[in-house]
């Protein structure tokens, strides 16, 4: 191994500022090159000791001349001071999910649809890659320098984890320009992973320290990149593989394979075995080769990704709001193993549902040790006839969720009595009741297990978004009797938290401050955080928009609730039942008294003069470019009503891909049917005809 490059036999204290600047720039280039050779190309040219010596020289120069330190310096890989929170930022372009199937016939149909859409004679080629099982990330570069790293989040926005990704050795801090220049802007999609061998070493260390091991390499990687302290991220052996150019300015590509070549030139680590093929048969053969080698790989994959190679063709076929039409994932069959159930235990969830859980002898399924799996409900246990002590076959659905597939009859193996659900809640002792196949504890806010779940839900990102209130913290708060009811969360003091495992003065103060900040929040977030039956994010927003105050929602009767779009009799009954429960009402009074302000959504201006005011629209099937929520907002912005079922009273049925029975009924009734283009044109006509149009342009408003 040579000592390639400048010798750097320099005394940092002997350099002038100008000399130090030149040396720092040379060290940047040198260390970036050797990191790429080591982590990406597996072809190191200098020893670890020599690399460390040059690295320490750079650290010494940056310490002596702080102005020479920069975000793209190799010293950023060691991590920075802890952040108070992770900021949510928008992606450069949406990071869509993939349509997927385990059936090769679905791949053939995908191929047929594309060939039909693109026409006879189209030169269709597919680029193939393994479907990596890690944490998806967006890396953004400006003029060749990493400026932002963002988790996938909801696909439109995610958490800024730039400081953490700078510690991952295979992430270029500055693009390599030896082969091709850097573009003005580059957004790259990649996957942050932990190799199975590194994961096993990491878990062994946790166990040796008396800590709970992680369930899978994916969980470990996802947890690492969301640390508030990037120095903790740096301690894990993470890799980042880039596989997609999301956006680029300053250069152009005709094919995906051109983008892959550019990523390689710029210094990114790429997935192995990327291939370009012409036919569905070649795709299936590629899938079979990876499936055969799957157990020998040092990383987790759950299938392959199939994408149109021609970028212009991708533009022709387009995307739905959820996934591109030009790509799909061909998944592997779930891995299955055999083990023994030691005990069927009961887990009590946030909503009071008692779930039987199989506690099993640990068994490795696809590189992950599995020791428990949900059995869902008493009817599922009875259907499969699962009992304590049974030998069973298990699998990881989607290579993630453990499932008990079936009991295996073993000659000579005795059986225990059939499983029976308990009559009382194992967490609080309250008598349970049956609701269909479910078994439910009615002690809504008084049951410790339910309270723990409600605390986590209350503080979740799509509810009050309380930074630091995760499951581990919620368990500690309830177990130590620091929070005995939901409202008690707001009475916490930092001094009470400092003795808890994992807390110190700074983290305790930060959690108390985060809770206090959420005394003022959006009404819709508050409603969703309460865990009202049938009330998810969308219904919470609709309730907040319609009633404007928490008091009005609590007082609403059946007639008032069913007047809200999307709320029927069953939902109304569940909502009213929740508010009518005396024990729940007392808890809600206590929580509401802790809030300073519950902010309703902005008023929507009525479009009374619209020619479509009062007209009823039904949407069916996936629209080419509009998300269902966007289409609904457009219709409502011109005074129309959106309903869920087709009837003689329906004025327009808007039809997208795979419309189903609503389309058939609309044809039978002779209703007016529109595609997306016709719908948008109608909306524009109505907006232009209004004399009292809304202030916001509904055609440019972002989806909330």
Is residue 445 within 8 Å of 451, Cβ to Cβ?
yes
Tokens of 640: 């129309």
Task: Sheet containing 126-132: give its strands across.
Answer: 100-101, 327-331, 301-308, 126-132, 275-277
- Are 440 and 450 in contact by the 8 Å Cβ rule? The answer is no
Angle separating helix axes 471-479 and 448-458, nearest 10 degrees: 140
Of 109, 131, 506, 648, the catalytic one is 131
Rounded CA separation 667/664 (Å): 5
**3-class SS string, 34-82:** HHHHHHCCCCCCCCHHHHHHHHHHHHHHHHHCHHHCCCCCHHHHHCCCC
Q: Judge contact between 633 and 666, C-beta under 8 A.
A: no
Return the residue matching tokens 């210094």: 267
Q: What is the DSSP string of 372-391?
A: EEE--SHHHHHHHT--TT-E
Helices (H) and strands (E) in the chain, counts: 24, 24
Nearest to 306 by CA among 287, 293, 333, 323: 287
**Main-chain dihedrals φ then ψ at residue 522, nearest 5 degrees:** -75, 140
Neighbours of 275 (CB within 10 A): 14
Distances (CA, A) of 603 to 261, 351, 544, 599, 612: 51, 32, 11, 11, 20
| Residue 277, beta-bridge partner list | 126
Q: Is 362 within 8 Å of 388 (Cβ atoms)?
A: no
Handedness of CA 407, 413, 414, 416 (dihedral sign): negative
SS3 578: helix
Backbone φ, ψ for residue 275 (5° rounding) = -135, 155
| Contacts of residue 187, Cβ cutoff 8 Å, sequence gap at least 6 | 91, 92, 93, 138, 139, 140, 141, 245, 246, 247, 248
- Name 257's Cβ contacts closer than 8 Å, sequence gap at least 6: 127, 274, 276, 309
Q: Which residues of 103-119 are buried (b: 16+ CB within 10 A; e: fewer)?
A: eeeebeebbeebeeebe
SS3 662: helix
In Å, what is the CA distance from 336 to each residue of 332, 402, 473? 12, 10, 34
Q: CA-based Rg of the chain, rounded to a whole angstrom? A: 29
The whole-angstrom separation of Cα 643 and Cα 614 is: 11
Give, in order, the Cα–Cα distances in Å from 118 to each of 55, 100, 253, 309, 623: 53, 21, 20, 13, 19
Yes or no: say if 624 and 656 are a contact pair by the CB < 8 Å rule. yes
Beta bridge partners, 248, equal: 186
Extract the tokens encoding 168. Answer: 């991952």
131 is catalytic: yes
* Reduced 3-state DSSP string for 289-321: HHHHHHHHCCCCEEEEEEEECEHHHHHHHCECC
- CA dist 334 and 442 (Å) reads 37
User: What are the catalytic residues?
Assistant: 131
């Amino acid at each position: 191994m040579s000592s390639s490059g400048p010798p750097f036999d320099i005394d940092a204290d002997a350099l002038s500022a100008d000399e130090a600047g030149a040396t720092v720039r040379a060290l940047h280039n040198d260390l970036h090159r050797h990191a790429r050779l080591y982590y990406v190309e597996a072809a190191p040219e200098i020893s670890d000791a020599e690399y460390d010596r040059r690295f320490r020289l750079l650290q010494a120069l940056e310490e002596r001349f702080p102005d020479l330190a920069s975000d793209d310096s190799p010293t950023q890989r060691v991590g920075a001071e802890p952040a108070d929170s992770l900021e949510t930022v928008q992606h450069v372009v949406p990071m869509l999910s993939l349509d997927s199937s385990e059936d090769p016939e679905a791949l053939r149909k995908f191929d047929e649809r594309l060939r039909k859409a693109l026409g006879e004679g189209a030169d269709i080629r597919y680029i193939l890659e393994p479907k990596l099982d890690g944490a998806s990330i967006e890396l953004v570069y400006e003029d060749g320098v990493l400026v932002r790293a963002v988790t996938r989040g909801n696909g439109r926005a995610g958490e800024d984890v730039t400081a953490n990704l700078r510690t991952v050795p295979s992430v270029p801090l500055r693009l390599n320009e030896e082969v091709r220049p850097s573009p003005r802007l580059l957004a790259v999609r990649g996957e942050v992973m932990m190799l199975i061998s590194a994961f096993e070493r990491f878990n062994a260390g946790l166990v040796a320290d008396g800590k709970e091991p992680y369930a899978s390499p994916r969980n470990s990687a996802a947890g690492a990149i969301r640390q508030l302290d990037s120095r903790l991220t740096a301690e894990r052996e993470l890799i980042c593989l880039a596989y997609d150019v999301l956006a680029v300015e300053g250069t152009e590509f005709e094919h995906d394979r051109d983008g892959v070549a550019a990523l390689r030139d710029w210094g990114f680590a790429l997935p192995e075995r990327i291939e370009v093929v012409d036919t569905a048969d070649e795709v299936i053969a590629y899938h079979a080769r990876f499936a055969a080698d799957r157990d020998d790989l040092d990383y987790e994959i759950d299938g392959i990704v199939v994408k149109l190679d021609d970028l212009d063709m991708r533009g022709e076929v387009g995307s739905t709001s959820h996934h591109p039409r030009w790509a799909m994932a061909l998944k592997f069959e779930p891995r299955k193993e055999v083990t023994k159930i030691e005990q069927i235990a009961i887990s009590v969830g946030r909503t009071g549902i008692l779930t039987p859980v199989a506690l099993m002898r640990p068994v490795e399924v696809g590189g992950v040790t599995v020791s428990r799996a949900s059995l869902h409900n008493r009817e599922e246990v009875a259907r499969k006839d699962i009992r304590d002590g049974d030998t069973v076959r298990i699998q990881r659905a989607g290579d993630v969720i453990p499932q008990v597939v079936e009991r295996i009859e073993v000659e000579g193996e005795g059986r225990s009595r059939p499983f029976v659900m308990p009559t009382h809640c194992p967490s609080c002792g309250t008598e349970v009741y049956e609701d269909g196949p479910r078994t439910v504890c009615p002690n809504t806010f008084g049951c410790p297990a339910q309270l723990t779940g409600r605390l986590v839900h209350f503080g979740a990102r799509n509810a009050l978004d309380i930074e630091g209130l995760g499951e581990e913290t919620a368990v500690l708060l309830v177990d130590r009797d620091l929070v005995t009811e939901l409202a008690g969360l707001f009475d916490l003091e930092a001094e009470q938290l400092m003795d808890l495992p994992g807390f110190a003065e700074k983290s305790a103060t930060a959690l108390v401050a985060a809770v206090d900040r959420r005394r003022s929040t959006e009404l819709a977030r508050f409603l969703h955080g309460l865990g009202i039956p049938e009330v998810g994010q969308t219904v919470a927003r609709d309730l907040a928009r319609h009633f404007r105050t928490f008091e009005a929602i609590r007082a609403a009767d059946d007639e008032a609730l069913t007047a809200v779009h999307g709320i029927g009799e069953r939902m109304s009954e569940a909502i009213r039942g929740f508010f009518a429960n005396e024990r729940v009402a007392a808890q809600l009074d206590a929580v509401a008294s802790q809030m300073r302000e519950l902010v309703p959504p902005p008023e929507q201006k009525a479009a009374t003069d619209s020619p479509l005011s009062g007209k009823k629209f039904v949407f069916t099937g996936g629209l080419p470019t509009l998300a269902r929520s966007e289409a609904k907002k457009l219709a409502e912005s011109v005074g129309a009503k959106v309903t869920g079922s087709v009837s003689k009273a329906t004025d327009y049925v808007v039809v997208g891909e795979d419309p189903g029975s609503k389309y058939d009924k609309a044809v039978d009734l002779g209703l007016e049917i529109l595609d997306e283009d016709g719908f948008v044109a109608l909306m524009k006509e109505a907006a232009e005809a209004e004399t009292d149009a809304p202030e916001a342009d509904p055609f440019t408003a972002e989806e909330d």
